[in-house]
Amino acid sequence: MWYYYSTGAIVKCYAWAGDVANFVGLLGLHVSVGFEPLSRFPAKMLFLLGSPKNHIEAETVRAYVMEKIVTGGTVWPLQISDEDVSQLLPCRLSDFLSGNFVPIQGRQTIFSENVHSQHPSLTTDSWTLYIKATILISRVKTFNGRYRIKSKLPASGIPSSPTESEEFHRLDREINEFTQQIPQAFREPVKTSIDPLLYMAHFLPHVASIQLHDPHAKLDDPDNLSTQRLAAAVASMLDLVHKVLATSFDLIYLDHSTSFCWFVAGATIIRFLKVATEQGNQDSIWQLTQNLQTVKFVLGNLGERTTAGLRQIKLLNDLYEDEVVPASKRNAGQLVQMHGSAPDTSASITEAFSF
């Protein structure tokens, strides 16, 4: 699957994830002991794999499908719903690799209360934080994909406006709690070395926030809550980008899905750039342009060895052409010229964004 992902073949990734998801269900990897479906048959007969024979095998089968990340940038439905996943969250990666026994009593699940704000020390590391961040992506995607259906159900009691719903505010709260309550030992993903999983654990909540608020943001209104959330998310993501660029770390060794996070940041910057262009705010245009160029730089660095980075740059260019260029023409009758202190003062914004 990672080959398809690195080449930008997202349709093949989605199809591959669907095949894997079918086996997850057949093997029972999504079910934890005590949460088996109601049936008159014994638990060992419900799934092909049967019960784990020892604690190492038990930890091996703890599954949370990678499709959550692969399909995070699409509107396609998830193959496995979180409502069907009762598996325990994994132990620390070091314990798994060492074969250490980790008691299952008190272990968290996807549906554990305060799972994003409480992080037991004996089962918390960059790997488990990464899984928890992925859960946020999954929940937001499910909310966005099912809201209109739920709101039309008889006696659903769900408001017509998503931003007025309790689920919307709960998701917003969970995202903020997770980012604010990451344990002290895991607050900084970029030190003398970089932990790719922890880097993603810090990035994904901001992606989830953008996906939750993007459909509702009124970017010409700075007091709009969703607009504020988008601005805060982009600022945090750019900070993470600058931190990794300040090191000699080879970006190819980051998690493959990091480029998706960078792309989401770039697409959101373009939304802000469109509004700044319509308003003729040259200072904002220049700053946003620099921010977008930074995103394209890291994608280009990745694109030197994988196709995904180059394809995401092309998507950003296409999005820019669709959003910002028409706004420039409406505002001034011609393309807005770059700010005097920009790298190329003679180039139009379109030329400045060509890669």
pLDDT band at 334 (very low <50, low <70, confident <90, very high): very low
Residues 255, 306 contacting (CB under 8 angstroms): no
Closest CA to 342 of 290, 303, 299, 306: 290
| pLDDT given at position 1 | 62
* Rg of the chain, C-alpha, whole Å: 22
Cα 31 from Cα 62, distance rounded (Å): 9
| pLDDT given at position 272 | 96
DSSP labels for 110-157? TTSTTTTT---GGG-SHHHHHHHHHHHHHHHHHHHHHHHHHHTSTT--
User: Could you identify the residue written with the tokens 């994988």?
Assistant: 306
- Single-letter code of the amino acid located at 276: A
Cα 268 from Cα 297, distance rounded (Å): 16
Cα 210 from Cα 236, distance rounded (Å): 12
| pLDDT given at position 344 | 36
Q: What is the pTM of this model?
A: 0.84
Write the pLDDT tens digit of every residue in 151-173. 777 766 777 789 999 999 999 99
Residues 141, 78 contacting (CB under 8 angstroms): yes
| pLDDT given at position 137 | 93
Write the pLDDT tens digit of every residue in 226-266. 999 999 999 999 999 999 999 999 888 888 889 889 999 99
Cα 219 from Cα 35, distance rounded (Å): 45
The distance from CA 265 to its chain's CA centroid, rounded to whole angstroms, is 10
| pLDDT given at position 350 | 40
Residues 353, 315 contacting (CB under 8 angstroms): no
pLDDT > 90? residue 5: no
Choice between 278 and 303, residue whose per-residue pLDDT is larger: 278
Cα 341 from Cα 339, distance rounded (Å): 6
User: Could you identify the residue written with the tokens 């209109």?
Assistant: 148
Cα 242 from Cα 224, distance rounded (Å): 27
pLDDT > 60? residue 355: no
- Single-letter code of the amino acid located at 96: F
Choice between 34 and 351, residue whose per-residue pLDDT is larger: 34
* Average pLDDT of every residue of the chain: 82
Segment 33-50 mean pLDDT: 66
| pLDDT given at position 100 | 86
pLDDT band at 84 (very low <50, low <70, confident <90, very high): confident
Residue % of the chain over a pLDDT of 90: 45
pLDDT > 90? residue 327: no
pLDDT > 50? residue 58: yes
| pLDDT given at position 156 | 66
Write the pLDDT tens digit of every residue in 85-106. 878 888 888 888 888 888 888 8
**Total residue count of the chain as it appears in this document:** 355
| pLDDT given at position 64 | 57
